[in-house]
Structure 1
């Protein structure tokens, strides 16, 4: 249908709003990642603490409904620094040269999740680009399950490269990939089907 507006909007989230709606956001996190309720509940305190980190930024995707708007996706991140759990895990996973090149001054895309009912509609890409738009940081880093998933393909298509593969974070049996992209993002051109 031409001329219609998308029913989902992506916008930056005030910290106060995200804190007040963290349970709602983490429900999406659990569904998107396939984690059970106990894992999601254990994440709440960490997620609230993340909102106090330097350079914190959050975005949300809202679906228009007859009752108003519903959160259907979110993302947040912050400046990665030594002493943070994720920084120190990633530092151990990378060789010295790669760590020195990528970690200083980088923005960690800590969470980026879309409710399963709203995936494959471009929301993940819209959230990612809104989250890292106009950041003063040289690079964005993230970790994602090391498997051929929609998220993994999205990150690679949008300019992220492999920094480490098959890394096991404590508390999760799945292998993860650690990816990095120079900012601003420069999505790769799609390869024509007949090439």
Structure 2
């Protein structure tokens, strides 16, 4: 468990808990990514399937609500999860097609995909994104972590570069999303290039 500030904590999430609270997590995903309710609803089945993949790990950020009694005393405000990348997975095969052969051979085998990493917009710019990322990949038995993020000058993009991720491909279009994406990779453990906490 990592303490961030008073009333905030980041923990590894048991898979059954995340399954039971996936709608709550995906609401944060939709708000953070700017997706409408239909896109978020369509993501649910895939997200549940992801929890069965080899090497699955999830983390969550919680803040105290001040509630008591029958009301939750804390609220999920950010989450991340990932798993071992393997051929036949949709994201693996998309990324394999986007990379040249040498880059794919270097980065894909045995790597961990940071599939989702999102912080509720009302709780961004507090360092939660960085702490979620570090908690998610801490002590993993994998040589590298890979992810995709909208290819724009966003807080998330700057966070990943500051934490040692490098560009593997830029301007890639995944089916079903009109925005260009960047595909990034980092050797594990992470070696941040920016010693100051990132605003994320």
1:91 corresponding residue in structure 2: 96
* Structure 1 residue 72, shift from structure 2 partner: 0.1
Aligned to 2:39: 39
Match of 1:160 in 2: 165
1:23 match: 23
TM-score by structure 2 length? 0.92
Q: Could you tell me which residue of structure 2 aligns to residue 151 of structure 1?
A: 156
Q: Please name the residue that 2:75 is paired with.
A: 70
Alpha-carbon distance in structure 2 between the residues aligned to 1:8 and 1:40? 26
* TM-score relative to the length of structure 1: 0.95
Structure 2, unmatched stretches of 5+, are 68-72
Partners of 1:146 and 1:24 in 2: CA distance: 26
Deviation at 1:5, TM superposition (A): 5.0
1:185 and 2:193 correspond: no
Cα distance in 2 between the residues matched to 1:44 and 1:63: 24
| Runs of 4+ residues deviating >2 angstroms | none
Give the gaps of 5 or more residues in structure 1: none
Q: Deviations over 1:55-91 (max 9, x none)?
A: 0000000011112010000000000000000000000
Counterpart-to-counterpart distance in 2, 1:5 and 1:38: 34
The residue aligned with 1:136 is: 141
Question: 1 CA distance for matches of 2:74 and 2:101?
Answer: 46
Structure 2 CA distance for aligned equivalents of residues 189 and 17 of structure 1: 33
**Aligned residue for 1:120?**
125
**Partner residue in 1 for 2:60:** 60
SS in structure 2 of the partner of residue 154 of structure 1: helix
Give, in angstroms, the shift of residue 190 of structure 1.
Answer: 5.5
Q: Who is 1:13 aligned against?
A: 13
Measured at CA, do residues 5 and 120 of structure 1 come closer, stay the same or move farther in structure 2, by a change above 3 Å?
closer
Equivalent residue pairs, number: 188
SS in 2 for 1:141: strand
Q: Kindly state the Cα deviation for residue 189 of structure 1 after the two structures are TM-superposed.
A: 3.6
**1:109 — aligned with what?**
114
